[in-house]
Chain A
């Protein structure tokens, strides 16, 4: 059974710092890995999707890496801003036959202090 773990559960940093969020998964048989952002009481917004054959994806100040063999991914946020405050969720799509679901970690709650 695929399990996804995110560390830390919460992180608070001053504005302007670069930071790294971590995600690990137990089964390397995945189609892809996604990072989502969730604001309080709201739905999820996809930030980056990394195919299983890729090593990293970049969007603006965000960079996500994937090491499938070791079951790890990181989300790097450069020059953090107060607007980056949110919960960040990592999810994998298992490669099990017919599987379309995403398996999520519990999230990292990020607070950027002005």
Chain B
């Protein structure tokens, strides 16, 4: 069990550029989540996949954001036309498909994005 991994760990980009982040969940975890965390705040939910299906999206996920999980394995989060307000830590988590209320979400180390 290698844990949840995210790539890259850090990304600096200029305003208006597109960026893509990758998350590899714990193997055999059916559920995958994306959260965003700004400095001094707790993480905020962005979206959730069960296998390859995107089942829940937050209002925070504007039309500049898109997430995919092809084949129900790794996931990508793309931000188009980045803005300075997108600067944050993007966290990925995964959990097994278990009985409601009993499964823990396991978090990756995050990707820190800085938009100049």
The reply on B101 being an interface residue by CB < 8 A is yes
A23-57 contacts to B, CB under 8 A, are 31-32, 34, 36, 41-46, 49, 51-52
Contacts of A101 in B (CB 8 A): 33, 45, 48, 56, 58
Residues of B contacting A52 with CB < 8 Å? 101
B56 touches A102 (CB 8 A): no
Q: Assess the B107–A49 pair: CB atoms within 8 A.
A: no
Cβ contact within 8 Å between B33 and A106: no
Residues of A within 8 A of B105 (CB): 34, 46, 102
Number of A-B contacts (CB under 8 A): 65
Interface size class of B (residues with CB under 8 A): 20 to 34
Q: Does the CB pair A43–B102 fall under 8 Å?
A: no
Check B55 against A98 for contact (C-beta < 8 Å): yes
Q: Which A residues lie within 8 Å of B100 (CB)?
A: 31
Digit string of B84-100 for contact with A (CB within 8 Å is 1, else 0)? 00000001010000001
B31 within 8 A of A: yes
> Which residues of A come within 8 Å of B, CB atoms?
4, 6, 31-32, 34, 36, 41-46, 49, 51-52, 89, 91, 93, 98-107
